[in-house]
Structure 1
Amino acid sequence: METYIAFLRAINVGGRTVKMDRLRELFAELGLEGVRTYIQSGNVFFRTAETDREALVARIEAGLEAGLGYPVPVVLRTVGEVEAVLAAEPFAGVEPGEDKRLFVLFLSEPLPAEVRAELPVVSPKGDWEMIGATPGEAFVVMHLRNGRLNGNPATAFPKSYRGQATSRFLHTTGKIVAAARKG
């Protein structure tokens, strides 16, 4: 059985509040095993023998929409896949600070090669830099302005990109992997 991390987009933001026990119930009702959550931002760990990731994502998204009443995009990664992202040190040489945060954007569809070839990309206002990417992740440095994060790095994606992205702080991503391994 494989252990997956489901990164859910737009959980507990914008007035869509979901208690973690309810989220665990919804995943368990789908027949997924060992369901656990990490913090309130939509990180769910589970085990399954199912190998068709596309079908698994579709089933989870349908179950969440039926249970919550609105669509919730899901990006799935195995624990090993997230560990490989972290081991590659995508932010080598970049230090977070008072005015700088490091984010991993987990993508539901591969980022087009032409976007990856143009990296790094800096937003017109200088509020973010996309410094690198793999087909499934983008690595973004966000610059705080007046103590706030502004801008949307997904604007660097072409309009033809049909995938979804959900972001996590780099340090939180490491904690998510550690918590997933504990199970």
Structure 2
Amino acid sequence: MTYIALLRGINVGGHRVTMEVLRRLFTELGFANVRTYIQTGNVFFDAPVQDRALLTARIEQHLEQALGYAVPTFLRSPEELEHLLVLNPFSHLTVTDDMRLCLMFLTDSAPTGLVLPLRSPKGDMEIVHLTDHEAFVIWHIIDGRAPATLSFLDKTLGRRTTTRFFPTAAKILAAARNS
């Protein structure tokens, strides 16, 4: 089975790692056809293991041991990522230069009962759609600045998340399929 590993905190906040090192670390776990896409921690690999919780735990443990810091890992199949892209709850919007469309991946189940769209008190973030383990979020650029903190999203969706811009998620899927 082919997996897409979306890693949080790679090449930000002083946590620098080359894609060559990431590929080596995933290969050390016995995965086949390991490849990476851009410098933000997107790894594609083939593995016979179907238990995602076990697979995720193995990856996170190995990365933390090798790199010296926790690397939350979010696994999706190419088909699952494609489903999210096709779902595209942003399609009805007129996107402007002051908007960034984001796809957030969650470890925990998305909260139920939220009235959507849900905008942050500062007006800089807006949750527009939820699936079981993903959130579609708009970052509103205010005075030329992206949101400075994700505390609204952390409080609403949980702290174990990682985000990819929606157009980047489409490129990640294309790269996963072309290798």
Asked if Structure 1 and Structure 2 have the same fold, meaning a TM-score greater than 0.5 normalized by the shorter chain, the answer is: yes
Distance, in Å, in 2 between the alignment partners of 1:95 and 1:3 is 34
**Deviations, residues 133-171 of structure 1 (Å, cap 9, x unaligned):** 10111001111122221142424516xx4x611000000
Counterpart position of 1:172: 168
Distance, in Å, in 2 between the alignment partners of 1:100 and 1:27 is 35
Distance, in Å, in 2 between the alignment partners of 1:95 and 1:76 is 31
Distance, in Å, in 2 between the alignment partners of 1:4 and 1:171 is 19
Counterpart position of 2:52: 53
Distance, in Å, in 1 between the alignment partners of 2:54 and 2:134 is 21
Residue 106 (str. 1) matches residue 105 (str. 2): yes
Secondary structure at 1:148 match in 2? coil
Structure-to-structure mapping, 1:1-183, within 5 angstroms: 2-115=1-114, 118-150=115-147, 151-152=149-150, 153-157=152-156, 161=158, 164-183=160-179
Number of equivalenced pairs: 177
The percentage of aligned residue pairs carrying the same residue is: 47
TM-score computed with the length of structure 2 as normaliser = 0.94
Distance, in Å, in 2 between the alignment partners of 1:178 and 1:108 is 24
Preserved contact between residue 6 and residue 45 of structure 1 (Cα < 8 Å)? yes
Residue type of the alignment partner of 2:32: E
Distance, in Å, in 2 between the alignment partners of 1:156 and 1:71 is 20
TM-score computed with the length of structure 1 as normaliser = 0.92
Per mean C-alpha deviation after superposition, the further-off stretch among 144-153 and 25-34 is: 144-153
Structure 2: gaps (5+ residues): none
Distance, in Å, in 1 between the alignment partners of 2:95 and 2:58 is 37
How far 1:112 sits from its partner (Å)?
2.2
Preserved contact between residue 126 and residue 143 of structure 1 (Cα < 8 Å)? yes
- Alpha-carbon distance change, 56 to 172 in structure 1, aligned in 2, over 3 angstroms: same
4+ residue segments displaced more than 2 Å: none
Distance, in Å, in 2 between the alignment partners of 1:95 and 1:19 is 37
Instruction: Kindly report the root-mean-square deviation, in angstroms, between the aligned alpha carbons of the 2 structures.
Output: 1.3
